[in-house]
Chain A
């Protein structure tokens, strides 16, 4: 923590506190509303004007978990998000290291090509992927989503980690090289441990992006590998909008990722410096 001023003026601090409370309210309120709506019956949810104090019920949760099978889709989401994140880190870290430490022709173009993958709209790839995957018989499997999510996770890992590796002091490399250590050893034993914040933050993002993904999940899964967001959307039948159920499912989807993100959040700021290859 820096301490430029000996102590901030009390008035300035009052404003600061007020602003921070506003930010917290802004961020948390929709979340609060989602959770409370999920505890309402359909009739209460459609009360006009909305009620703030009521007797909560867990009926929506028991219905979506026991009857509609939201639990399975949550497990699917978890399997997929964790696997794709691990894979992205496994593949992406060495690549990021190479981009940060080695000099070779076309390095900038390669970096840009990696990042470009992150920008491809899922709509471009969804159908070709569907047709190919169907041919090789992998439709509606976890593996398909794990692989296709790499198209956006790998670039994120490479982007963030390249920057991290560059911030690792170079003399460490040189010292190790003088001792005759291989590049792989230097990467694994010296640089990787120092790049943990970057790896952490890119893992957080990979996990969040994969957990939340909808378009590919809608097109590529049906029953076995259906993810939780795809499930939530499937309650949106034009005939009937069960708000309580939809919000209960939403809460179940959002809670794990938020808990995860909160636990990991101390890395967020340290790892988010996102430079480019220089």
Chain B
């Protein structure tokens, strides 16, 4: 946006003035919510720890505001379809739950409102919003698209290496592997014996195959899905090295790893059947609780191993954004909820209840890093990651299906890494062609 200098200074002055009023009247959630008491906000939640945490915190919000939050629970695998159908049909959802790979799609369909609609409204914007307190990478990747911020990071993950320290010690290792090749060549053979396996890489044919398995071996080896011209980069030496590495590594994984989703992989570590697992930070509570994990005492956490191209941990997570289809009141009420649940003030409670906030300030508080031993690794992962770990453009839902199909075929040995990558690339390019990236119709943004 280009403004002439006079206008800009006027605006700045105006904002300051409003700011003064704001502090004088001291913005409170109760005040801000008054006009919206009785409004019902519909939102999709998943059956995951971060959502249970938020649900447990809800009564406080509803009591303060009189706004009713109506939660519709879906498993992850259905959440995209449910929301797309709702938005297409101009349905009831007031808040969009956005996995980072859906944001391009939702934004290009005009299903979301940018947060500036609300941050520019002093009656709705919490002066303590402090948007810069979010990890910039996370805010940009989970909530931003094309230079605009739509969602605030809510349920946030980074890939971490969870390992069973006891098993590693027994095999003579003092610490976790630092690199992927170390993991395979040294730890792999030493830890795979007596029905136990060194490693598990959840690879079920759904988003898990794309995000947790395929992309995870591309980036650290210098590969990527697309090159600068948006053509397939899967045939490059680096990408191929990554995919071949995965094939090699499979000998140290349990049988049938292609059918492992998160639940199976986490359970394998929790039961002491595998020694190491790269998984989302969100599983910390499951693996650390003696109710669900036999190895709670042995559990340790490190950043994901690095490859020749550095440490490129998996990045994933969800933001909440106001849906464009909501009416005036629902929009305001939705914003107040999003702002509240992701706020700096609530970050600690969210963390304590099993969520993982994306607020930098909470991890700097005394004792947090000691109490939650995943914090150092998490913070390190969020310092620099690859936002396009999986491309976030509108075509991802189609592309991920192709990746899932051919990625699984490669793992099962039905096609070689070259054949699979070639077919995958061809099909991926057909989707991008159709979308208009090659004709210059669409900017090359991922």
Contact = CB atoms under 8 A, between A and B. Distances in A.
A touches B in complex, CB < 8 A: yes
B91 A239 contact: no
B263 A139 contact: no
Interface of A: 42, 46, 130-131, 134, 139, 218-219, 222-223, 233-241
Interface in B220-276: 261-264, 266-267, 271
B263 A130 contact: no
Q: For the side of the interface on B, what is the size category? A: 20 to 34
A238 B267 contact: no
Interface stretch (B71-79, B101-109, B129-137, B347-355): B71-79
Given A218-B78, A222-B82, A223-B72, A238 B263 contact: yes
Given A219-B85, A238-B262, A139 B75 contact: no
A131 to B, nearest CB: 7
A183 B103 CA distance: 63
Contact of A241 (B46, B82, B206, B263): B263
A239 B46 CA distance: 10
B204 interface: yes
Interface string B68-96: 00001111111000100110111110000
B360 interface: no
A238 B91 contact: no
Given A222-B82, A223-B72, A237 B89 contact: no
B89 A238 contact: no
Contact of B48 (A130, A218, A234, A237): A237
Given A134-B89, A139-B91, A240 B263 contact: yes
A222 B264 CA distance: 28
Interface of B: 46-48, 72-78, 82, 85-86, 88-92, 204, 206, 208, 261-264, 266-267, 271, 282-283, 286, 292
B408 to A, nearest CB: 15
A139 B267 contact: no
A46 B266 CA distance: 13
Contacts of A222: 72, 82, 86, 92
B72 A237 contact: no
A238 B99 CA distance: 15
22 contacts: A131-B88, A139-B89, A218-B78, A222-B82, A222-B92, A234-B78, A235-B47, A235-B75, A236-B77, A237-B76, A237-B77, A238-B76, A238-B204, A238-B262, A238-B263, A239-B47, A239-B263, A239-B266, A240-B263, A240-B286, A241-B263, A241-B264
A12 to B, nearest CB: 45
Contacts of B292: 42
A223 B206 CA distance: 25
B75 A130 contact: no
A236 B91 CA distance: 25
Given A222-B72, A239-B262, 4 more contacts: A134-B90, A219-B85, A237-B76, A241-B263
A216 to B, nearest CB: 13
Contacts of A234: 47, 73-75, 78
A130 B85 contact: yes
A131 B46 CA distance: 25
A237 B204 CA distance: 13
A42 B267 CA distance: 12
B80 to A, nearest CB: 13
A239 B89 contact: no
Closest 5 A/B residue pairs (Cβ)? A134-B89, A238-B261, A237-B75, A237-B47, A241-B263
Given A139-B91, A218-B78, A222-B72, A237 B85 contact: no
Contact of B75 (A42, A219, A223, A238): A238
Contacts of A219: 85
B259 to A, nearest CB: 12
A147 B422 CA distance: 47
A219 B292 CA distance: 33
A139 B282 CA distance: 34
A130 B72 CA distance: 19
Nearest to B93: A222
B48 A239 contact: yes
A130 B48 CA distance: 28
B316 to A, nearest CB: 12
A244 B262 CA distance: 18
